[in-house]
Amino acid sequence: MVERVGEQNPGWSAVDTYIADRLLGDDPALSAALAANAAGGLPDIDVSPAQGRMLHLFARMARARRILEIGTLGGYSTIELARALPADGKLLSLEIEPHHADVARSNVAKAGLSDRVDIRTGPALDSLQAMIAANEGPFDFVFIDADKQNNPAYVRAALAMSRPGTTIVVDNVIREGGVLDAASGDERIRGTRRLFDEVGREPRLTATAVQTVGVKKWDGFLIAIVD
């Protein structure tokens, strides 16, 4: 039996608040994006402020000029990633829900980043295959945060549009310990386990995963570099 964290430890949230207060500061554009997401009825599943800033820093460390994001939601992580780009950089984000994409476009516009961001609507696998066929790669940085059952396919598509040195980050890979449950009937967990298996076998990737706790409970990120 896999032990699960049923309720959030209040200390995790307090530490996230401490991090945000000391290191992130007030960010009107990101706060407005969260408010617009809530007003638009979007699910409260954005990355946390500390995680969003981590993605921003990862993209800067990678010196990214072209970023692919799979799963836009309301554009919170999109804004953080787009801010990491140079003035002539581009971020392409894929979102299946038209309403979510509309909210994200508005949030990105209010953040002054529309010139760097292209949000495309439709099933991500279809969009990715069209992008591969059109030779739209390579991307320098890929962030995957969409339906978890398709994570292995998303990584394969990311590899097809990568170069040596491309960074790939996948969110929600611990699932409160559910990743340990080989007998799980949850397709999100099954997809995550397949993700680990495929990345572990892929000779073109050097990878690890880190567990996280905070306002998003117990979860984590898989981080890989294309060799």
The whole-model pTM stands at: 0.95
For 53, residues 6+ apart whose C-beta sits below 8 A from its C-beta are: 23, 24, 80
Dihedral sign (CA 159, 165, 169, 173): positive
User: Which residues fall within 8 angstroms of residue 143, CB to CB, at 6 or more apart?
Assistant: 55, 67, 68, 69, 70, 77, 81, 169, 171
pLDDT level of residue 152 (50, 70, 90 thresholds): very high
Q: pLDDT tens digits, residue range 53-80?
A: 999 999 999 999 999 999 999 999 999 9
| Residue range 99-149, pLDDT digits in tens | 999 999 999 999 999 999 999 999 999 999 999 999 999 999 999 999 999
**Residue 207, class by beta-carbon neighbours within 10 Å (0-12 exposed, 13-18 middle, 19+ buried)?**
middle
Predicted local confidence at residue 4, as pLDDT: 52
